[in-house]
Amino acid sequence: MAKRVLVIEDEPNIIEAISFILSRDGWTVHTHADGETAMAKMRGHPPDMVILDVMLPGRSGFDILRDLRADPALGATPVMMLTAKGQARDRELAEQLGATRFMTKPFSNAEVIETVRSLVGA
């Protein structure tokens, strides 16, 4: 069975690009665009890893990451934070909250695939 990646992102072009490259690489990709309901989505169908945008409608990716790490059932899920803002303070906050990796937009397709493979152990 293919490993499941949940992409929590609100930019349609980013969703389409990541979904395409990961699906082509054999991953099952689910997407979600609302920060407010992201935790419910993860609890309903726990993914093998999460690609999480920082700036989302409803709640920030940082808030979602904080909740994810505090959840006993989901806390160990690998999370790659994705942001257009590559400032040092964003990276530091992501690391403090428990992000497994931090990637800035724009990103290369190869970098996304390599990171997902390494985080899930595929």
Q: Which fold has domain 4-120?
A: Rossmann fold (3.40.50)
Residue spans of the domains in the chain: they are 4-120
96-118 pLDDT per residue, tens:
999 999 998 889 999 999 999 99
CA-closest candidate to residue 48, choices 72, 82, 74, 70: 74
Instruction: Supply the pLDDT for residue 105.
Output: 87
Q: What is the pLDDT of residues 23-73, one digit of tens each?
A: 999 999 999 999 999 999 999 999 999 999 999 999 999 999 999 999 999
- Calculate what percentage of the chain has a pLDDT beyond 70: 98
Q: Would you say residue 79 has pLDDT above 90?
A: yes
d(CA 60, CA 53): 8
Give yes or no for a contact between 28 and 2, defined as CB atoms under 8 angstroms apart.
yes
